[in-house]
Chains A and B, each alone.
Chain A
Amino acid sequence: MLWWRAAGRAVVALAVGVALTGCSSNAAAPAAASSTGTPSPSATISTPVPLPVASARALESAARSGDEASIRRAFVVPSGTALDPQLADGLAAFARFDIDQSQFVQTSDTTATVPVTTVDAAGVTRRWTAILQLIDGGWLIAATQEQK
């Protein structure tokens, strides 16, 4: 069990470091945070699952449908959770909503990332990383992070 103790000590050392900076009752938030960190593509993937172009277009369509039921088929949303009433209209109001399927990267057996570009009604362009999750054999959008 030497590996375990060694790993444990390493973990504790890390923990102490973070704890000393951020885990005091009167401490401020840690000054340095790591990058938002798209999960590494080097993670072991036993079953590659691609994102076909048709699937990407279907996601785009569902997302912009303005219909809550369709949105729930495009995004990972907990069942029984009420969606914000403005979400469907907000997504439908995008002038552009493009999933760059060619940059799709599977990061684990159940996760992947793909770039998305949106242009709102005012013409403002924003670029996002969508984090996808594999649900019932299909990729759904689980979260988004804006690329700064």
Chain B
Amino acid sequence: MNHRRGARGRIRIRIAAVLATVCLSAVGSVAGALSAPAAAPTCPGQGGGNTDLSGLVKQAHPVVLVHGWDGSPMAQTRSLLEKKLPSGWQFLLFDYSAVHDHWAARPEIAACLADYLADVSRTHQRAGGDGRVYVVAHSMGGLATLYAADPAYGGASAKGLRLAGLVTLDTPWTGSAWGNTPYSWLVQAGSNLRLPSVTSDAWTCLRRAHAGSATCSTPRLLGSTTAVNQIAGDITVRRMLFGLRAYDLPLVSDGIVSTDSQTGYLDSASGTKVGQRVDMRTVSCTEDLDSLGNVVLVGALPQMMADGHVLDLLNAEKVDASLLELFLRTQFTSACSHLKMPTNDSAIDQVVAALTAQAAARPLRPTDLLAVRVPADCEHPAGRLSNGRLPLSGDNSGFAMTWDATTKKFVATPLLTDLTGDGARELVGVMLCSAGGVTWPETVLVYTPSADGPQLLGSVNLGELTPHEHADVDSLKTVPGGVLVTWHSYEGCCFMRQDWTATLRTRDGTVALVNVAEKAPGRLSDTATIAADGVGPIRLGMTSAQLKAHLPDEITYNPAGGGFCASFEGQGLNLLLPEQQAGGYRLEYLTIDPGGWASVLKTAKGIALGSNVGEILSAYPRAVHSNTLGQGIVDNYSVQVGSNTLGFLITAGKVSRIVVATTGAWRSEELCA
């Protein structure tokens, strides 16, 4: 191949190169190592380029159209969309054409766009709407939206932005092979265009995906509650010889941005990819060489005839003049070229479909927890619940459920709350699972609405936060900044109980329980209630250390010794802690006797020292009467609850002692001797 050219040939290349550069100014890259906005920028669109918001109504979803780097406001796109979606939507133009040549991360674009989107949201809310905003962006506009939604670039307005969905057309998520090439540099030679300096990161980062630059900072991915639909233009050149179809040359590109880059959102930015709702669609066009030849700019260059060379370039993701001219010619002829996609009828149809799907997400209901997909838990695989229960194969013993069909109750009462701040309520529920014959710590589940129904946003297994064999959620409650989760953890049936609180939050698209804290132990007082498993904060199974935290100082501790249990004694209370087989001492037997403030303690049904048998049987009709206890003859009534027993010793027809014990200890003949 001879690379010599005449003067005219050089000019051709330069024209093509400059055109590429100018057109490339409509695109960008995923990154630009520009500093975060310092002060409030002067927003160029405020002068009238941006659509006035006074007409926003409750019944319509607001959609902001964001043009590309070199584009003008997408008025033609708006007109086409309005014809396809005549009601239920309001299309607004964001205009940064006055600073179109600036990098999208700059405050005059990113922060101004964030301000505008926030303003749209507020205005829509004031009109009675949900404040959820949709964006349709062309080319660089997609990246501008990503920067705008990142507080590091979008500023304060980016926080809590209610971005419901983003639809992109031809956005160079991972850059373009044209970036930082000699062709893009050429324009700088005598440039009166306000393109970024060739020394700026903008050009460097345009090739980020190909050059592997480490200097290009990136915005964060949008929150996982924002659906992203990427629409890519894909041109195929059909070579014709003497009017006959010869072969196809797939450009795998819209002429400026490769289809990989146009659909590379997930690879474009930092942040978690978990739970991201991303879709990609392609608009394909085939152009034959004859039709391209009709608008050829300066004639057929020899280079472009060598399609083998072109294919080699495409495969290697490289560019040169031959590919440049081929790409440029398609810009003006191909319906799915980078420049034409915003007005391409098929692309508009795809935008309509994407917006419709994004908005179709219905509000969640608590009963959605009966049929949601759940993550793998306690050795059970992930799957979809049926009537609140995970169908398990024969090899899987146990269960996983959010709903107990026997009691007809949820494992924990579900909660609907806007956890992500996007205006839509998330569904928070709890799953209990069992494997190996025991239940495992419960898992908190968070679902967000989507067009496909409830989508798992994330989950937290309480076993990761507390060390015990079991962890059961007690309540879910909406609090500022999240959901307050209250649970207790314990060993075995009921030992070593600890109560916990933490705040459930979404952060960077993930779900986390933060500020985990053990609830401050309460002190036993004369207002406490006697139950089968303890008195007030005192619970059977507690260690001496745990009991000390709950008992007033006047109740003294007696260490174990001489074959006796450890014990606490005072104010009418006597707590016995037999030595456990596994070691250590735990509360198994508690008595309340006359003499001291504890003598006024009552059960939840009002039985106290001095109550008579009639009152006992009235309060506890199933109380069992016995004349023996251990080896002695003692008139008593007892109520068994689970593995514990609430006992009443009777003297002269009245309760003379109340006992709270494990059933084993209650029946023991020799507990602490």
A125 at the binding interface (Cβ < 8 Å)? no
Contact between chains at B19 and A18 (CB < 8 Å): yes
A51 at the binding interface (Cβ < 8 Å)? no
Q: Mark B1-43, 1 if CB is under 8 A from A, else 0.
A: 1101110110100110111011100100000000000000000
- How many angstroms from the CA of A91 to the CA of B246 in the assembled complex? 10
Known A12-B192, A25-B26, A33-B294; contact A77-B72, beta-carbon cutoff 8 A: no
- How many angstroms from the CA of A92 to the CA of B306 in the assembled complex? 24
Q: Which residues of B contact A144 (CB under 8 A)?
A: 240-243
Q: Which residues of B contact A80 (CB under 8 A)?
A: 311
Using CB atoms, name the residue of chain A closest to B80: A26
Known A15-B187, A24-B72, A39-B300; contact A76-B138, beta-carbon cutoff 8 A: no
Q: Which residues of B contact A104 (CB under 8 A)?
A: none
- How many angstroms from the CA of A67 to the CA of B307 in the assembled complex? 21
Q: Which of A26, A44, A91, A133 contacts B4 (CB 8 A)?
A: A44
Interface residues of A in 1-50 (CB under 8 A from B): 4-12, 14-16, 18-19, 22-27, 29-30, 33-34, 36-40, 42-44, 46
Using CB atoms, name the residue of chain B closest to A32: B295
Q: Which residues of B contact A33 (CB under 8 A)?
A: 294-297, 332
Q: Which residues of B contact A86 (CB under 8 A)?
A: 244-245
Contact between chains at A108 and B247 (CB < 8 Å): no
Contact between chains at B247 and A8 (CB < 8 Å): no
Contact between chains at B240 and A26 (CB < 8 Å): no
Contact between chains at A37 and B305 (CB < 8 Å): no
Interface residues of A in 115-148 (CB under 8 A from B): 116, 118, 126, 128, 131, 133, 141-146
Known A11-B186, A26-B75; contact A84-B245, beta-carbon cutoff 8 A: yes
- How many angstroms from the CA of A29 to the CA of B189 in the assembled complex? 27
B470 at the binding interface (Cβ < 8 Å)? no
Known A26-B76, A111-B302, A146-B290; contact A15-B22, beta-carbon cutoff 8 A: yes
Q: Which residues of B contact A29 (CB under 8 A)?
A: 295, 332-333
Q: Which residues of B contact A16 (CB under 8 A)?
A: 22, 192-193
Contact between chains at A109 and B244 (CB < 8 Å): no
- How many angstroms from the CA of A34 to the CA of B299 in the assembled complex? 8
Using CB atoms, name the residue of chain B closest to A29: B332
Which of B63-71, B219-227, B435-443, B571-579 sits within the interface?
Answer: B63-71
Q: Which residues of A contact B191 (CB under 8 A)?
A: 8, 12
Q: Which residues of B contact A30 (CB under 8 A)?
A: 295, 332
Known A26-B342, A78-B308, A131-B300; contact A14-B244, beta-carbon cutoff 8 A: no
Q: Mark B281-311, 1 if CB is under 8 A from A, else 0.
A: 0000000011001111111111001111011
Contact between chains at B9 and A43 (CB < 8 Å): yes
Known A81-B311, A144-B242; contact A23-B339, beta-carbon cutoff 8 A: yes
Q: Which residues of A contact B5 (CB under 8 A)?
A: 43, 108
A52 at the binding interface (Cβ < 8 Å)? no
Q: Which residues of A contact B23 (CB under 8 A)?
A: 19, 23
A residues contacting the other copy or chain, number (CB 8 A) = 64
- How many angstroms from the CA of A108 to the CA of B2 in the assembled complex? 9
Contact between chains at B71 and A24 (CB < 8 Å): yes
B139 at the binding interface (Cβ < 8 Å)? yes
Q: Which of B15, B290, B306, B308 contacts A15 (CB 8 A)?
A: B15
Known A11-B14, A15-B15, A23-B339; contact A143-B289, beta-carbon cutoff 8 A: yes
B74 at the binding interface (Cβ < 8 Å)? yes
- How many angstroms from the CA of A10 to the CA of B475 in the assembled complex? 73
B27 CB to nearest chain A CB (Å): 10
Known A44-B6, A76-B306, A141-B241; contact A26-B74, beta-carbon cutoff 8 A: yes
Q: Which residues of B contact A24 (CB under 8 A)?
A: 70-72, 339
- How many angstroms from the CA of A75 to the CA of B240 in the assembled complex? 11
A54 at the binding interface (Cβ < 8 Å)? no
Contact between chains at B290 and A22 (CB < 8 Å): no
Contact between chains at A11 and B244 (CB < 8 Å): no
B272 at the binding interface (Cβ < 8 Å)? no
Q: Which residues of A contact B249 (CB under 8 A)?
A: 78, 81
A115 CB to nearest chain B CB (Å): 12
- How many angstroms from the CA of A113 to the CA of B13 in the assembled complex? 20
B77 at the binding interface (Cβ < 8 Å)? yes
B290 CB to nearest chain A CB (Å): 7
- How many angstroms from the CA of A118 to the CA of B244 in the assembled complex? 12
- How many angstroms from the CA of A87 to the CA of B239 in the assembled complex? 11
Q: Which residues of B contact A146 (CB under 8 A)?
A: 243, 290
A65 at the binding interface (Cβ < 8 Å)? no
A70 at the binding interface (Cβ < 8 Å)? no
Q: Which residues of B contact A141 (CB under 8 A)?
A: 241
Contact between chains at B339 and A27 (CB < 8 Å): yes
User: Closest 9 A-B residue pairs measured CB to CB?
Assistant: A8-B189, A8-B190, A25-B71, A78-B308, A37-B299, A15-B18, A9-B190, A142-B305, A33-B295
- Would you list 30 pairs from A and B whose C-beta atoms are within 8 A, ordered by A residue? A5-B190, A6-B190, A8-B190, A10-B190, A12-B190, A15-B15, A18-B15, A18-B22, A22-B331, A23-B19, A24-B71, A24-B72, A25-B74, A26-B71, A26-B342, A33-B297, A36-B296, A39-B301, A40-B8, A44-B4, A76-B305, A77-B247, A78-B247, A78-B249, A83-B246, A83-B247, A91-B242, A111-B305, A144-B242, A146-B243
* Seed contacts A16-B193, A43-B9; 20 additional CB < 8 Å A-B pairs: A8-B187, A8-B188, A8-B190, A9-B189, A11-B190, A15-B21, A18-B15, A18-B19, A23-B70, A33-B297, A75-B246, A78-B249, A78-B311, A81-B247, A108-B2, A110-B2, A118-B242, A131-B300, A131-B305, A145-B293
